[in-house]
Structure 1
């Protein structure tokens, strides 16, 4: 059975699970979904002070937008990163967190992970509105690029869900997975061009020279798929231009490949999840 057939037969369940995820995140809080803005805005403030004022990282102005505001440049990188990590972390714990439901009711288990992704898309949309308003206030022509941003974030959602599918299965059998991924994300964050521009890595790569044959440090650095999504997001929202063709093709390739690999692994282990839990 394909994923479309899986989800088509459980549309109402998927809707209810998504609704539960959205309501459950900030249940009994006064501000509700507005808390979804707290983490990225707090991180933006802290990193802006450290990297813009103390370390003095100076990315190039937006091309062709001309924007030269480090806080907004940073936020354009933080939002896709936080979306990716939230989808993966939430999906990784979806099976273990719904152990009782999985053992008692028969339904497509993938609905749990898709509902998690949908709930974070909802939260991301709130963050996007705030970013868009801020960009418009400083004169950026970001509004025409929003449909393309949605398209790229749909690709990133596909990529993140694929990673979550693989890790959710691993977490059922090896509960150390979530702790390992926490450390991995700390390293991955600093290996992604969020706090600094790629040009700094390119300069370091030129100084170091080829590592193995003609392979350079920059070549290895550019293998980071999340970096491609961050650059695409920044090109659209901050630079106000279409991403490079290589970046676009890379995002599409990573999204499709990782999702189908994750889905195939998930389907292979789906029948034994109840027993393993």
Structure 2
């Protein structure tokens, strides 16, 4: 060993040891985890880009399919279900939902973001097993990369929704837009909390990812996406209606409809929806914090379990 090499080795040995895992403690550990994630923000960006590229790998049209899928979905709901099956309310008929295609596509835009974050986030740790077993880095970046990729796809679908409202002459204006940031914050924070928690549990119980698929399907029909809140209110008692409204995704979908479904302005909606979303946002932030601390406790054995 050279003198220079010996000096470097001595200097390295003099450095204080730093634990590679998450720091204990609810408050101190949270701060340290946030610092670790911030220090690896470039890696997080790379993982998001990798997630998007892998989705359309070897595809000739590539990112075009992100546009094609929601466009096809909007067309199907507008023609097949709205027109042919009579789900859309037309002059002279009291039944149906006005601008049915916009109504459904609005709910689906919010739901697609939620379901994509949950499904891809749940399998994110297991799907990156090779990288996790080789090097230490904050494991939270993997479910967070799923959130980032889902937000890119959501932005495309939201742009199509806004364009569709303009084409049909139903472009939303005024104070209704104020609900969108609040609803989007609830959606992102709540789904991220679930993704972080489920991604850690899925390492130990691989059945979780299959259970999530079933639960997402059930929750889809438990949210007012293909039927209106007015139908729910008319068929449920006040107590059951409040229980139904306790679902954060129900609140988010109703808020999205309030913003973009201009034809449904006069349709019944829950009172003080903004206040309810505000309370849900606070609860979701606490849930995200708790989910991260559970994740931090479970991540120490990720490499061995994988």
**TM-score for both structures, normalised by structure 2:** 0.77
- Report deviation, 1:28: 1.9
Structure 1 residue 9, shift from structure 2 partner:
1.1
Instruction: Give, in angstroms, the shift of residue 146 of structure 1.
Output: 5.8
Q: Deviation of residue 22 (structure 1)?
A: 1.5
Distance 2:35 2:297 in 1: 16
Residue 223 of structure 2 aligns to a residue whose secondary structure is: coil
In the alignment, is residue 86 of structure 1 matched against residue 86 of structure 2?
Answer: no
Q: Is the 8 A contact 1:159 1:255 kept in 2?
A: yes
Alignment match of 2:243 (pick from 207, 213, 220) = 220
Pick the aligned partner of 1:189 from 220, 239, 242. Answer: 220
Indicate conservation of the 8 Å contact 2:182/2:278, yes or no.
no
Contact between 1:57 and 1:196, CA under 8 Å: does it hold in 2? no
SS of alignment partner, residue 216 of structure 1: helix
Tell me how far 1:219 sits from its aligned partner: 2.1
Structural mapping, 1:1-277, within 5 Å? 1=29, 2=31, 3-47=33-77, 49-50=80-81, 53-54=84-85, 56=87, 68-142=98-172, 149-205=180-236, 209=237, 216-239=239-262, 244-277=273-306
CA distance in 2, matches of 1:37, 1:243: 35
Can you give the 5+ residue segments of structure 2 that lack an aligned partner in the other structure?
1-28, 91-96, 266-270
Greater mean alpha carbon deviation, residues 221-230 or residues 2-11: 2-11
Do the aligned residues in 2 keep the contact of 1:92 with 1:167 (CA within 8 Å)?
A: yes
CA distance in structure 2 between the partners assigned to 1:6 and 1:188 by the alignment: 34
Instruction: Report SS of the residue matched to 2:63.
Output: helix
Write the distance in 2 (CA, Å) between the matches of 1:147 and 1:31: 36
- Counting matched residue pairs gives 262
* TM-fit CA distance, 1:38: 4.1
Distance 1:41 1:243, change over 3 A: farther
**Structure 2 CA distance, aligned partners of 1:17 and 1:86?**
16
The answer on whether the counterparts of 2:185 and 2:281 sit within 8 Å (CA) in structure 1 is no
User: Normalised by the size of structure 1, how large is the TM-score?
Assistant: 0.84
What is the CA-CA distance between 1:92 and the residue it aligns to?
Answer: 0.4
